[in-house]
Each structure stands twice: as C-alpha cells, then as structure tokens.
Amino acid sequence: MELILIRHGESTGNAARQAALRAGAEVINVPERDPDVPLSPRGREQALSLGRFLAEQEPPDLIVSSPYLRSLETVRLATGRDDIRLDERLRDRDLGAFDRLTPHGIRARFPQEWRRKQELGKFYFRPPGGESWADIALRLRSFLRDLPPESRTLVSTHDAVIFVFAYLLEGLAEDELMELERTPVANCSVSHWRDGERLVFNQVSHLG
C-alpha cells in the first residue's frame, strides 16, 4: 500500500495566525468557521506548483480529501480531477474552546488548562470541547483499515493529521512523534509511505 499525503496550501487562516503572532494578539482574526477557511492567493499558487510536481508522478488509484475547504481546494487545483472522495476522518484537529486563540490568548484566558497541557503533554491533552492527538489517531486507524489493499492513495489533509499518520504508519513512540513535530509540516508539502516505510517526509522542493 502506498500513501501520499499533502498538506493544504496556505490558507487565509494560516496568514491571519502569523499576523496575530507578530502583533502579540490573543485572538486570530478569522471570520469563517474552520471548515470554511479558504486558500489565500499564495496558497493557490502553491497548489498549482504542487500540481506540476504530481503530474510527473505515477497517478494515484484513489484521491481522498478532508472535507475542509482549504484541503479540497488544494487537491482540486493540484490534480484537476473531480473524482475526489471526502472523508471527515481526515479533518483538522478540533481545538474546541482554543479555536482562534494564539498561545498568548490560551495562557491568558485558560491558565488552568494551559498548565494541564504542560502536565499531560501535547499528545494526550484535550482542549475543552476539542480533540487530543490521540483522538486523531483513533479516527485515522479506522481510515487506514478501510483503504483498499495494494492501493496508491493521495490524501489531502492537515498538518496535525500528517504527523499522526507518521505515528501510526511507522509505529512511533510518543516522544519520537513529538521530536518529529518540532519541524512544522509545510503548506503543500508531500509525505510518502510505501507499506509503512517512509520514503519522503515534508518534501517542499517542488515549491521552488
């Protein structure tokens, strides 16, 4: 089985988060609900660059996307195909009460939860009303079981989901996953496994 994972291109939410961090703000200015956040103009350019790279590769047997708009826009622009399946198990992590908050905002508004996160660690901590990384692992185990055997599948999804795929496919321990997570998964990067063996991770050379 081959699995090619792509992270969506830069979204307007990604750009707004960077602006909020630079300003030291508590809240990220994103008007849409998370599933409706679109690609930014830069994200659309990234998706087209990704498409030129994918056109040089063996075509996938199956394309599956997170239903979130930024992921679906990316894979549509990159592949030009309309036979894309949507699967809610590939959606981004639900941050619950932490949604639209910067780390500064979380510390200021939820100090007890911030301390609890430090105690539990990122993998097992669940924000109020949200998901932990372990919760993502549960839905991805189900997704992997449902893939056709010996298939070459292209998946358009989100950064936390890609990290948890690596955790499952490679049998990583929690500390190994957290070490891997120290380097962010880039927008429109490519990560590729064959039978659980990592071929590339977070490849961005196609973006120039």
Span 38-80, pLDDT tens digits = 999 999 999 999 999 999 999 999 999 999 999 999 999 999 9
In the chain, where the domains are located = 2-207
Q: What is the DSSP string of 13-77?
A: HHHHHHHHHHHT-SB----S-GGG--B-HHHHHHHHHHHHHHTTSPPPSEEEE-SSHHHHHHHHH
* DSSP assignment letter at 156: E
Residue 129: what pLDDT? 98
Q: What is the pLDDT of residue 185?
A: 98
The rounded distance, in Å, linking the Cα atoms of 73 and 57 is: 20
Q: What is the pLDDT of residues 119-156, one digit of tens each?
A: 999 999 999 999 999 999 999 999 999 999 899 999 99
Encoded tokens for 116: 């609890």
* pLDDT tens digit sequence for 90-119: 999 999 999 999 999 999 999 999 999 999
**Whole-number pLDDT of residue 208:** 82
Reply yes or no on whether the pLDDT at 197 is more than 90.
Answer: yes
Into which CATH architecture does domain 2-207 fall? 3-Layer(aba) Sandwich (3.40)
Phi, psi (deg, nearest 5) at residue 65: -130, 150
pLDDT value of residue 189: 98
Residues 6+ apart with CB under 8 A from 38: 11, 12, 32, 69, 70, 73
**Is residue 141 a contact partner of residue 171, using CB atoms and an 8 Å limit?**
no
- The predicted-structure confidence for 3-42, as pLDDT tens digits, reads as follows 999 999 999 999 999 999 999 999 999 999 999 999 999 9
The whole-model pTM stands at 0.97
